[in-house]
Amino acid sequence: MSTRKEVFKELKENLLFSLTWIVIALILGSVCGMVGAAFHHAIDYVTEFREQHDFMIFLMPVGGILIIFLYRIASLGYEPGTNTILLSVRQQDRVPVKLAPTIFLTTIITHLVGGSSGREGAALQIGGSIATAFGRAVKADKKQMSLLVMCGMSAVFAALFGTPLTATIFSMEVVSVGTFYYAAFVPCLCSALVAYFAAQVLGCHSVTYDVTEVMTIDAHNFVYLLGLSLCIAQFSIIFVIMMHQTGRLFKKHIENPYIRVVAGSVILILLVFVFGKEYLGAGMNIVDQAIYEQVRPYDFILKAVFTAITIGCGFKGGEIVPTFFIGATLGYTASGFLCIDPHLGAALGMVGMFCCVVNSPITSLILAVEIFGTANLLPFALVIAFCNVFSGYFSLYHAQKFVYSKTSPEFINKDAL
């Protein structure tokens, strides 16, 4: 049994830990919130500018060359990305400080010229880089640095998407699937909340949707949700393979990164002439259409192709917002065959696809609540649960580690496919 002295000592340590990280959250969260807000507004501005000036897509090769050049002059020739951030948490390593300004600028360039990418990958990298700079300034040790990196990830993610709880749990869950970094809960939550409120003050707004259809769970709907989950999970595997293999093919056949990005740009421009410009940029406007209006049955396929080419040839950004696009449009389309309201199907597809590609079911459930509310909590939970199993061990992030099996209480320590 613990003595009274030991109990008070533990209480003192816990209070000191909490107070320390509250202070750190105020500083780091404020900085990340301001940077996240600036990034949010910059992406919105260049996207609006591109949509008003169609000629910008013809500058895609120039934008691609500039991106490669910026990485070279920043001595980031090996192109660190989100995988670097995940590895830094697990291996208690540092993130390159130069990564924050570089990924900030290159993601803006990508959206300016019409690359099909998101911004959450950049958000995680910016947050991790800022946190590393802060850690160096306060001479944090390796364990503290891991917590700081997770705080930075949570903070910029929360600032951009307006989902502080999702941002918190995502940083704790995504690194090692099957385990949580519980020590990061207080630091990440406080940092995410500070960044979220800072971004709101600076004019950023949360993304929320009002889905009026409410599904009750009975035998028929259970089977329909099972079918929808299977559709989402199988296409998620195809999408992940496309993302990985497209980059490998570009590098295999075109060694020079400048020629590679120009070749990818030309392909994307040709695709725009054939299929239209709806698949450029992040595509949240198409997510809105899937949830409130209607979309074309092949939208999810074309978005996957555009995104794989964009990221594979060397443009920057992220894959999560395109994943929302793909999931929402696939959910809308598949629901027509499964007796599910298509707008509810779009919402379920959006969250289910997110779960599949990042293997974070708890984060996905919280995302559903923060974006869609609790009216359809059980349908979301079922889709997320089945998607998590059906998607196997495929992941957008090679650095993700599966500590425990998805189908058995078994330690496997398996790398992502």
Q: What is the pLDDT of residues 184-199, one digit of tens each?
A: 999 999 999 999 999 9
How confident is the model at residue 78, as a pLDDT? 61
pLDDT band at 92 (very low <50, low <70, confident <90, very high): low
CB of 271 within 8 A of CB of 60? no
pLDDT of residue 77: 63
Per-residue pLDDT reduced to its tens digit, 120-135: 888 889 999 999 899 9
- pTM of the predicted model as reported, rounded to 2 decimal places: 0.95
Strand partners, 414: 402
pLDDT grade, residue 223 (50/70/90)? very high
Residue 98: pLDDT band with limits 50, 70, 90: confident
| CATH hierarchy code of domain 219-415 | 1.10.3080.10
Tell me what the mean pLDDT of segment 210-224 comes to.
96
Compare 119 and 162 and report the one with higher pLDDT: 162
The predicted-structure confidence for 378-397, as pLDDT tens digits, reads as follows 999 999 999 999 999 999 99
pLDDT, tens digit, for every residue of 64-74?
999 999 999 98
pLDDT over threshold 60, residue 1: no
Average pLDDT, the chain: 93
Say whether pLDDT at 87 is over 90. Answer: no
pLDDT at 234: 98
Alpha-carbon Rg for the chain in angstroms: 21
Q: Show the tokens assigned to 7.
A: 């109990």
| Nearby residues of 223 by Cβ (< 8 Å), 6 or more positions away | none
d(C-alpha 92, C-alpha 104), whole Å? 24
Q: Comparing C-alpha atoms, which of 240, 250, 42, 62 is closest to residue 126?
A: 42
**Contact, 348 vs 329, CB < 8 A?**
no
Domain boundaries, the chain: 4-201, 219-415
Q: Band of the pLDDT at 225, cuts 50, 70, 90?
A: very high
What pLDDT does residue 43 have?
A: 95
What is the residue-wise DSSP string for 312-331? HHT--S-SHHHHHHHHHHHH
Shared fold status for 4-201 and 219-415: yes
Q: What does the alpha-carbon distance between residue 106 and residue 64 come to, in Å, rounded to a whole number?
A: 9
| CATH architecture assignment, domain 4-201 | Orthogonal Bundle (1.10)
